[in-house]
Amino acid sequence: MRRNRANAEMDSAQILLLYFFLLFSPSCAEFSTRVGINYGLLGNNLPSPSKSVKLIQSLKANRVKLYEPNPEILKALSGKKLQVSVMVPNQLITNISSNQTLSDQWVETNIVPYYPRTLIRYLLVGNEVLSFFSDQDKVTWHNLVPALRRIRASLKTHNIRKVKVGTPLAMDVLGSSFPPSNGTFRSDVAESVVRPLLQFINRTKSFFFLDVYPYFVWSQNYQTVDLDYALFETKDVTYTDPKTSLVYRNVLDQMLDAVFFAMDQLGFPKTRLWICETGWPNAGDVDQIGANIYNAATYNRNLVKRLTTKPAIGTPARPGLALPAFIFSLYNENQKGGPGTERHWGLFYPNGSNVYPIDFSGEVSDYSGYPPLPKAENNKPYKGKIWCVVAKGANLTDLGSALAFACGQGNGTCEPIQPGKECYKPDSLVWHASYAFSSYWVQFRSGGGTCYFNGLAVQTTRDPSKISLSLSLSMGIWLVKRVI
């Protein structure tokens, strides 16, 4: 009995010690320069939360950001030395902004059951709410900061003191970003939303959370922006800001400093910044240049090395500043819409194998002992023709709906495949859909139209006029033998 009691007392002491560590130690590690990971769930083939947590740990990450308060993931993170950021959905912002009870209930349901054993340290209200590409209206814009205040009050109500509140914004919150010294916030949000946001951030000692992607800057300006300059690879290419004479050696620093100068202009020069998302796609559509494993590995490895260097490097405008960051993303997510790159930002394939090795601790500076990276084959635009056709295995029912959508966009998209017209034959759903997809894509791609159609379409460089495209479908095999 004495031995059992001693063991019980030891167990209790160990539990108390663990609780003390989880509750108090993160305050010392909050500014650790070790990089974190974004954990998205837009895939129908992703590993379990417990396996995912092990993969995160294998990266030697110390932080993870969740896009929703998933109970299974929060439980899987319990007792782990991983700081956690949780997101409040965009669609709740307006209601929470005017309803403290609703805010209290959200925190009680989604945070309280897991805290503090799960090291929840940041609550992010919404995601890129102020972006032009967001589906949020201007009413939501103006409800953003009130919602931040409500959530913070709810945390206090539940005696949760160590969780910071913020909101991730995209780079398009800036009206001007070049040169960096000319960084300014958009006139439609600068005074009405961003100023009160910065006041909230500074008063609560939180962060300006920013999603920043040099890939898009380079891919949209590849003729004038050097690829190595975007990948932290060049020592010869520099840019000097004409106003400040600050010298830049990579795209990321230019983007970050544009935001720092924009905050300076509003009178908030000491606001802390957190890179909430950054990364490089490991694959994409035929017409998306530079999206490959070699570039993705090079960017992310160099990013980790730069952000974990001690003492901190900072940026030309903020030398020595430590920059916490999350890399996007843990997995390639096959249910994300849009162009092909959207489904190829992951460090792991859904089967758990890595796309390329990487170590978030910064302790690995030489990857020469790892398998060589595949050669980059698409760093220049594809110059041949590209067609958009029905993907192998497409569901017939969904295909009918997609065909109706493509034909319903006007501009004569489907006129040639109407009965009696020149492209009506062969009279098959697959043929008509392939024609409609290509016609739609040609007409609307410049305005954001993609060859995707919820996974029903795929780009091809194989001329359908010279081959028979065999499509294996759930209800049979169809042959497309006509020019698209």
- pLDDT band at residue 465, thresholds of 50, 70 and 90? low
Out of 311, 343, 375, pick the residue that ends a domain: 343
Residue 357 lies in a domain: no
Q: What is the pLDDT of residue 417?
A: 85
Average pLDDT over residues 456-460: 89
Closest CA to 84 of 36, 42, 119, 32: 119
Q: For residue 168, is pLDDT > 70? A: yes
Query: Which tokens in the block code for residue 312?
Result: 């901190």
- Tell whether 410 and 339 lie within a shared domain: no
In percent, the amount of the chain with pLDDT more than 70 equals 88
Burial class (CB in 10 A: 0-12, 13-18, 19+), 361: middle
pTM equals 0.86
Residue 16 lies in a domain: no
Q: What is the pLDDT of residue 24?
A: 39
Residue 219 lies in a domain: yes
Q: Which of 108, 191, 233, 277 is catalytic?
A: 277
Out of 288, 316, 343, pick the residue that ends a domain: 343
Residue 2 lies in a domain: no
Q: For residue 484, is pLDDT > 50? A: no
Residue 350 lies in a domain: no
Question: Which range of residues forms the domain containing residue 432?
Answer: 387-480
pLDDT in tens, 249-268: 999 999 999 999 999 999 99
- Tell whether 42 and 131 lie within a shared domain: yes
Q: What is the pLDDT of residue 46?
A: 97
- Tell whether 300 and 403 lie within a shared domain: no
Q: What is the pLDDT of residue 414?
A: 86
pLDDT in tens, 331-357: 999 999 989 999 999 999 999 999 999
Residue 366 lies in a domain: no
Q: Can you tell me the distance from the alpha carbon of 61 to that of 54, in angstroms, rounded to the nearest whole number?
A: 11
> CB of 333 within 8 A of CB of 43?
yes
Q: Can you tell me the distance from the alpha carbon of 157 to that of 407, in angstroms, rounded to the nearest whole number?
A: 54
Angle at 214 between CA 250 and CA 322, to 5 degrees: 65
Domain count, the chain: 2
- Tell whether 270 and 395 lie within a shared domain: no
Q: Is 422 a catalytic residue?
A: no
Closest CA to 254 of 191, 171, 328, 345: 171
Q: For residue 15, is pLDDT > 90? A: no
- Tell whether 306 and 436 lie within a shared domain: no
Q: Can you tell me the distance from the alpha carbon of 104 to that of 438, in angstroms, rounded to the nearest whole number?
A: 50
- Tell whether 259 and 129 lie within a shared domain: yes
Q: What CATH number is associated with residue 220?
A: 3.20.20.80
> CB of 125 within 8 A of CB of 93?
yes
Q: What is the pLDDT of residue 308?
A: 95
Residue 360 lies in a domain: no
- Tell whether 237 and 315 lie within a shared domain: yes
Q: Can you tell me the distance from the alpha carbon of 307 to that of 361, in angstroms, rounded to the nearest whole number?
A: 10
List the end-to-end C-alpha distance of the chain, in Å, as a whole number. 83
Q: CB neighbours (10 Å) of residue 137?
A: 10
- Tell whether 318 and 397 lie within a shared domain: no
> CB of 277 within 8 A of CB of 212?
yes
- Tell whether 311 and 445 lie within a shared domain: no
Spell out the SS3 assignment of the chain.
CHHHHHHHHHHHHHHHHHHHHHHHCHHHHCCCCCCEEEECCCCCCCCCHHHHHHHHHHCCCCEEEECCCCHHHHHHCCCCCCEEEEEECHHHHHHHHCCHHHHHHHHHHHCCCCCCCCCEEEEEECCCCCCCCCCCCHHHHHHHHHHHHHHHHHHHHCCCCCCEEECEEEHHHEEECCCHHHCEECCCCHHHHHHHHHHHHHHHCCCEEEECCHHHHHHHCCCCCCHHHHCCCCCCCCEECCCCCCEECCHHHHHHHHHHHHHHHCCCCCCCEEEEEECCCCCCCCCCCCCCHHHHHHHHHHHHHHHHCCCCCECCCCECCCCCEEECCCECCCCCCCCHHHHCCCCECCCCCECCCCCCCCCCCCCCCCCCCCCCCCCCCCCCCCEEEECCCCCHHHHHHHHHHHHCCCCCCCHHHCCCCCCCCCCCHHHHHHHHHHHHHHHHHHHCCCCCCCCCEEEECCCCCCCCEEEEECCEEEEECCCC
> CB of 362 within 8 A of CB of 304?
yes
Out of 321, 343, 365, pick the residue that ends a domain: 343
- Tell whether 244 and 303 lie within a shared domain: yes
**Which of the two residues, 33 and 180, has the higher pLDDT score?**
180
Residue 352 lies in a domain: no
Sheet order of strands, 164-166 included: 164-166, 120-125, 83-88, 63-66, 36-39, 325-327, 273-278, 208-211, 168-170
Task: Kindly report the backbone phi and psi dihedral angles of residue 51, in degrees, each rounded to the nearest multiple of 5, phi listed first.
Answer: -70, -35
Q: Which of 9, 30, 108, 128 is catalytic?
A: 128
- Tell whether 308 and 402 lie within a shared domain: no
Q: For residue 2, is pLDDT > 50? A: no
- Tell whether 206 and 151 lie within a shared domain: yes
pLDDT in tens, 110-138: 999 999 999 999 999 999 999 976 666 78
- Length of the chain counted residue by residue: 484
Q: Is 191 a catalytic residue?
A: no
